[in-house]
Amino acid sequence: MTEKEKMLAGEIYSAVDPQLLEELNAVKDIIHEYNQLRPSETEKRLLMLKSLLGSTGDDRVFINQPFYCDYGKHIRVGKRFFANFNFTVLDEAFVTIGDDCFVGPNVSIYTACHSTDPTERNTRREWALPVTIGNSVWIGGSVTILPGVTIGDNVTIGAGSVVTKDIPSNSVAVGNPCRVVKELKETLGAKE
């Protein structure tokens, strides 16, 4: 297996592999160009996002600049996706986000994992775990989502939360570590 294949399979891989570094640098060039676009260049912004991301549900994907990611192609977003300023995605593993999701400013999603043992960490070997976010999810500002987390449908994650574990559908979750504080009725649009 190549180091990239190991990375996408969740196995330990070398983060300094020449092929991976070449891909990272190529994406950084694209991201730099994207972040320099004028706000009025909406068509060019959409075309760049559609070519950068792994998939988009429709033409209504919108990510405010600045936006940062590692590979881009490992990010899949659904219909009517919106992310505010400073959206950062370390997509060494797949990040899958459903339809009608809104992401506040300064949100970070991490898939890369590093050893807590400094000797191991210094070898630059790491692994990655996917992040999955369901449909109709609102992620408040300054939220951090850690590797391997799944967030269900119809969830609100409160601002400033650090999501370390899965969050079930139809809930409101907040805090560090993030925990469910309210369960919602399953019917969309139900008044709570």
Report, as residue numbers or ranges, the catalytic residues.
114
d(CA 62, CA 80): 8
d(CA 116, CA 159): 27
95 residue type, one letter: V
Structure tokens at 116: 């807590």
Q: Would you give the end-to-end CA distance of the chain in angstroms?
A: 50
Beta strands in the chain (DSSP E): 13-14, 55-56, 62-63, 67-69, 75-77, 82-83, 87-90, 95-97, 102-103, 108-110, 112-113, 125-128, 131-133, 138-139, 144-145, 150-151, 156-157, 162-163, 171-174, 179-183
